[in-house]
């Protein structure tokens, strides 16, 4: 796989060494057991796969290339490059400005842009409508388009589904940038519908089985359908694609459920005429990180830490998995861990940050599960490890312990 030029301050000597060792031991990525790192009284269980994925590294490389190649020019990002505050803050510190926030709210009027300005499309991609607006202003949006190739793969699959008269069901969060972009691309060639989770899939199934009326359907999915969507016409032949950062297991479960509904309605012999096989749209990095998280769930530990941006979809799903077994804390970086043994952890259910005291168990030896989202730099994960160690060891002792691996 391609090696990207990412600023060195995103890298971690400690984590790089651990990942390099695992790559030598398991070059074909068949072993999803965690790496067990003993540092003093702490045993860290690091997920087999975590941190920057292909799409994120590609986006960061292109962003810094835009800065290097365009001195003196105004450089804009359509919205957050990725969902990690440290990365986005660094880009803004280098002079890049955001045109929109993550919800699509305008921060800088497009009308103020000129053809001499540089505009970067983020890793999530963007809608066809925004692409057309920017092109109409004479802006080049391809040179520094950082859309993840795995997101584009979903768009390409959607185009093919549209060409064969399928309605496209998108498993995603309808306000997420990637889902908005995928919906726009899908709806340009076919009827499209967004469903968030299994309960929404089951509502769709209930409609297909005649248990819900068209009026109920239209109310339930308001704002999540393409223009002119008619459930009585557009649900006879479907294909499921996803927001690449959703739980892969949930996408598969939704697809399997809808396939079962279609078999009940049309029979096994006719199933290929009513639902497409779209398993090829699942992102490899999402799959690897989530499978590695299942590997963590096979272990015993005192607590789990997940590191990443609080608005990161793929990171929140890692939390969702780990909290099934462990007391799990979701933090953006080491600054959320305090010397008084309190921690600021983000609650994905209440959508809020809360302080929790004495989060470390009162025992000599600790076993801690540790992973991060696909948009989190390894340097931040190393910082978390060092902050935990500093609660029991001096700065020199922490350095000595980490140098065992770096």
Query: Active-site residues: which are they?
Result: 178
Phi and psi at residue 149, in whole multiples of 5°? Answer: -60, -25
Helix (H) or strand (E) holding 133: helix 128-136
Name, in order, each residue with C-beta under 8 angstroms of 238's C-beta and a sequence gap of 6 or more.
166, 167, 168, 169, 258, 262, 274, 275, 276
User: Which DSSP letter does residue 211 get?
Assistant: S
Which has the closest alpha carbon to 157: 201, 189, 127? 189
Give the residue carrying structure tokens 């919906």. Answer: 183
Which has the closest alpha carbon to 240: 268, 226, 259? 259
Tell me, rounded to whole angstroms, the distance of Cα 163 from its chain centroid. 28
**333 with 353: CB under 8 angstroms?**
no
Task: Determine the 3-state secondary structure of 73 from DSSP.
Answer: coil
**Both structure tokens of 49:** 């796969």
Give the residue carrying structure tokens 């279609």. Answer: 262
**Cα–Cα distance, 52 to 372 (Å, whole number):** 9
**Both structure tokens of 284:** 């490899």
Q: Taken in order 175, 180, 186, 188, is the CA torsion positive or negative? A: positive
**Cα–Cα distance, 286 to 16 (Å, whole number):** 20
Please state, in angstroms and as integers, the Cα–Cα distance from residue 295 to each residue in 283, 327, 365, following that order: 18, 16, 22
Helix axes 284-297, 54-69, angle to 10 degrees: 130
Which has the closest alpha carbon to 107: 144, 85, 76? 76
24 burial (CB, 10 Å; 0-12 / 13-18 / 19+) is: exposed
**Cα–Cα distance, 63 to 118 (Å, whole number):** 11
Length of the chain (residues): 406
Tell me, rounded to whole angstroms, the distance of Cα 282 from its chain centroid. 12
**Both structure tokens of 232:** 């009585």
**Cα–Cα distance, 264 to 308 (Å, whole number):** 42
């Amino acid at each position: 796989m391609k090696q990207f030029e990412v600023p060195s301050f995103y890298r971690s000597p400690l984590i790089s060494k651990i990942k390099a060792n695992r790559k030598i031991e398991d070059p074909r990525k068949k072993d999803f057991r965690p790496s067990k790192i003993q540092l003093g009284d702490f045993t860290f269980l690091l997920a087999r796969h975590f941190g920057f994925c292909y799409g994120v590294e590609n986006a960061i490389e292109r962003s810094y290339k835009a800065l290097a190649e365009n001195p003196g020019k105004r450089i804009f990002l359509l919205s957050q490059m990725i969902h990690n505050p440290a990365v986005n803050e660094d880009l803004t510190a280098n002079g890049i400005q955001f045109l929109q926030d993550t919800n699509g709210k305008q921060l800088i009027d497009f009308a103020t842009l000129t053809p001499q300005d540089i505009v970067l499309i983020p890793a999530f991609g963007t809608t066809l409508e925004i692409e057309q607006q920017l092109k109409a202003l004479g802006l080049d949006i391809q040179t520094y388009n950082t859309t993840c190739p795995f997101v584009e793969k979903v768009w390409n699959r959607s185009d093919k589904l549209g060409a064969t008269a399928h309605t496209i069901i998108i498993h995603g969060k309808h306000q997420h940038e990637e889902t908005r972009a995928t919906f726009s691309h899908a709806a340009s060639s076919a009827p499209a519908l967004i469903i968030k989770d299994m309960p929404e899939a089951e509502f769709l199934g209930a409609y297909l089985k005649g248990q819900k009326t068209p009026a109920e359907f239209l109310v339930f999915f308001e704002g999540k359908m393409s223009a002119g969507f008619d459930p009585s016409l557009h649900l006879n032949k479907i294909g499921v694609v996803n927001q690449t950062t959703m739980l892969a297991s949930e996408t598969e479960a939704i697809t399997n459920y809808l396939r079962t509904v279609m078999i009940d309605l049309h029979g096994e012999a006719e199933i290929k005429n009513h639902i497409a096989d779209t398993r090829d749209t699942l992102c490899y990095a999402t799959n690897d990180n989530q499978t590695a998280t299942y590997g963590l769930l096979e272990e015993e530990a005192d607590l789990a830490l997940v590191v990443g941006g609080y608005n990161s979809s793929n990171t929140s799903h890692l939390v969702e998995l780990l909290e099934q077994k462990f007391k799990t804390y979701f933090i953006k970086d080491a600054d959320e861990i305090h010397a008084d043994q309190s921690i600021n952890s983000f609650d994905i259910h209440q959508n809020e940050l809360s302080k929790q005291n004495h989060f470390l168990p009162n025992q000599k030896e600790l076993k801690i599960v540790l992973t991060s989202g696909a948009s989190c730099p390894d340097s931040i994960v190393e910082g978390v490890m060092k902050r935990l160690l500093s609660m029991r060891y001096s700065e020199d002792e922490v350095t000595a312990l980490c140098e065992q691996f770096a």
